[in-house]
Amino acid sequence: MLLTIEGNWEGSFYISEDFAFMIKDTTYYYKITFQQQNDKITGTCIDADTGVATTIEGKLKKNSINFVKTYRGGTSVEDDGCTKQYFEDEPIPVYYRGIVEGDTMSGEWTFPMEVPFLYFFKKRHTMRGTWKMWRI
């Protein structure tokens, strides 16, 4: 029997990465509407804290879920604590993987990125954290 996740979900992602010193140990909330066709999933996600919309594309296999949450614009937290929206030329993918258990799911996310290093160079780094969702 094929697992069905189509519909509305709420969730959160937790940033536990030391690299993100200003937003480390922070939880952000979102709402996702999933569409499903067989094992393929698509959807739209709205980050509750920023109002930024993202797209979802992924797959289900048994009770495993893998999807990419793609930002067309994102957010940054400034030194004064204000959240500001910015837009990148390239899409920003965040990779999610996890387990679906009835009306809940949870797992880990990763965000590969390049960071400035010694003013002239860029260094590859991957931010990580956890996530969870529940059906509404």
- Given a contact cutoff of 8 angstroms between Cβ atoms, the answer to whether 110 and 95 are in contact is yes
pLDDT score recorded for residue 61: 94
C-alpha span between 130 and 17 (Å, rounded):
10
pLDDT score recorded for residue 118: 67
- Secondary structure of 104-128 as H, E, C letters: EEEEEEEEEEEEEECCCEEEEEEEE
**All structural domains of the chain with their residue ranges:** 7-135
pLDDT score recorded for residue 74: 53
pLDDT score recorded for residue 73: 56
pLDDT score recorded for residue 66: 98
Spans of the chain, pLDDT less than 50: 77
Amino acid at 52: V
pTM (two decimals): 0.79
pLDDT score recorded for residue 134: 97
pLDDT score recorded for residue 135: 97
Q: Which CATH architecture has domain 7-135?
A: Beta Barrel (2.40)
Number of helices and strands in the chain (H, E)? 0, 8
